[in-house]
């Protein structure tokens, strides 16, 4: 695999994470108009699952960096005629694409891409990992607290199916913060023990709510209102947050299920700023994919 690929947060050492975050911060300030020195680099986006934020923030990042973008409609690619994922990506490589961004429903789909030479950026694999979501979450926390050490982060909801939870657990723990998990016991995942949500949020610096991933088989028995009352961020729980705490969500949100719709743009919410941070980190990840050193080392 190309060494500038980003497949998992496990690919990144602490110094790599901070290089990406620092580049992302500089893309917001003095390097706003910076573009890749590679003339009209060609990037292909392949989304085999629905996406709004990741797909179109990658596309926004690519255009801002001066790339030529092929937004491949996977429903009419030759994969529908039996071509393997490897053969599709290898084809894109030999016909001139310089990098690919892939979201796929299969955990670790990229293990099938050994032999591809261009960089592959993972935009989410099944319930495996979502590294660029994790990086934008880290950027959001870093902007808020000026550190990624000793933070107490609580993640609540459908942990069993969450690649966001998996990437954040690995990265935040590696960086010296703690992550507690909460939700209905049937969504507890090996290695992600659950704690009581109402207790955990009282001392949290950040609370991250997760959507129920019904498309991956998650089921609930009660009504949406019952779920919100038992496990969601409702107005009573919002009042329990510490003064400095922030509320996060990778989105898309299901209003009135895991979060009261009135809280999405509440004072402590960083849900829309997270999306803006997504463009910044994706610019930094694409820059890295092209082998360009951090702006400041
Ligand atoms: N957070 C996230 O991955 O959103 P999308 O599914 O809309 O890309």
Q: How far apart are CA 92 and CA 97, in angstroms?
A: 6
Predicted local confidence at residue 221, as pLDDT: 81
Predicted local confidence at residue 245, as pLDDT: 98
Peptide bond into 252 cis (omega under 30): yes
Predicted local confidence at residue 40, as pLDDT: 83
250 lines ligand 1 (CB under 6 A): yes
Predicted local confidence at residue 213, as pLDDT: 86
What is the three-class DSSP state of 43? Answer: strand
If you measure from the C-alpha of residue 50 to the centroid of ligand 1, how many angstroms do you get, rounded to a whole number?
A: 8
Which residues, including other chains, have CB under 8 Å from residue 120's CB and lie 6 or more apart?
A: 1, 2, 5, 6, 7, 89, 99, 100, 102, 110, 113
Positions of E strands within 56-119: 68-72, 99-104
**Exposure string (b/e) for 181-202, b if CB count within 10 Å is 16 or more?**
bbbbeebebeebebeebeebbe
- Provide the 8-state DSSP code for 106: S
From 48, 209, 252, mutation site for ligand 1 pocket: most ligand atoms within 8 A of C-beta: 252
Predicted local confidence at residue 291, as pLDDT: 96
52 lines ligand 1 (CB under 6 A): yes
In this structure, the strands spanning 99-104 and 42-47 are parallel
The secondary structure element, H or E, covering residue 287 is helix 271-289
Predicted local confidence at residue 38, as pLDDT: 86
Q: How far apart are CA 190 and CA 195, in angstroms?
A: 14
Predicted local confidence at residue 75, as pLDDT: 92
From 46, 49, 53, 278, mutation site for ligand 1 pocket: most ligand atoms within 8 A of C-beta: 53
51 lines ligand 1 (CB under 6 A): yes
Which residues, including other chains, have CB under 8 Å from residue 244's CB and lie 6 or more apart?
A: 205
Task: Report the atom number in ligand 1 closest to the C-alpha of 54.
Answer: 8
| Residue nearest atom 1 of ligand 1, based on CA coordinates | 250
If you measure from the C-alpha of residue 297 to the centroid of ligand 1, how many angstroms do you get, rounded to a whole number?
A: 31
Give mean pLDDT in consecutive 10-residue pieces for the chain, a chain of 297 residues.
97 98 98 92 97 98 97 92 96 98 98 98 97 98 98 97 97 98 95 97 98 85 93 98 98 96 98 98 98 94
Contact 167, 124 (CB under 8 A): no
- 17 half-sphere exposure, CB direction, 13 A CA radius: 26
162 lines ligand 1 (CB under 6 A): no
The Cα diameter of the chain in Å comes to 56
From 52, 125, 282, mutation site for ligand 1 pocket: most ligand atoms within 8 A of C-beta: 52
């Amino acid at each position: 695999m190309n060494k500038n690929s980003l497949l998992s947060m496990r690919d990144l050492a602490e110094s790599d994470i901070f290089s990406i975050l620092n580049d992302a911060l500089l893309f917001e300030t003095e390097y706003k108009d910076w573009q890749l020195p590679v003339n009209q680099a060609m990037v292909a986006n392949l989304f085999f699952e629905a996406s709004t934020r990741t797909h179109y923030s990658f596309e926004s990042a690519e255009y801002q960096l001066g790339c030529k973008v092929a937004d491949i409609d996977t429903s009419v690619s030759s994969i529908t005629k039996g071509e393997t994922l490897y053969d599709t990506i290898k084809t894109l490589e030999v016909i001139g694409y310089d990098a690919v961004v892939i979201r796929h429903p299969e955990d670790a789909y990229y293990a099938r891409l050994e032999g591809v030479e261009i960089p592959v950026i993972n935009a989410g694999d099944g319930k495996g990992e979502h590294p660029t979501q994790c990086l934008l979450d880290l950027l959001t926390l870093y902007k808020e607290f000026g550190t990624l050490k000793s933070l107490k982060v609580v993640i609540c909801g459908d942990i069993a199916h969450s690649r966001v939870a998996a990437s954040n657990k690995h990265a935040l723990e590696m960086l010296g913060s703690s992550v507690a998990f909460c939700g209905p016991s049937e969504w507890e995942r090996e290695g992600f023990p659950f704690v009581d949500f109402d207790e955990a949020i009282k001392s949290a610096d950040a609370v991250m709510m997760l959507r129920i991933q019904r498309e991956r088989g998650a089921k609930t028995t009660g009504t949406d209102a019952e779920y919100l009352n038992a496990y969601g961020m409702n107005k009573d729980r919002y009042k329990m947050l510490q003064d400095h705490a922030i509320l996060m969500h990778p989105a898309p949100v299901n209003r009135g299920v895991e979060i009261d719709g009135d809280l999405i743009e509440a004072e402590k919410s960083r849900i829309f700023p997270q999306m803006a941070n997504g463009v910044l980190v994706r610019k930094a990840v694409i820059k890295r994919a092209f082998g360009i050193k951090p702006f400041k080392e």
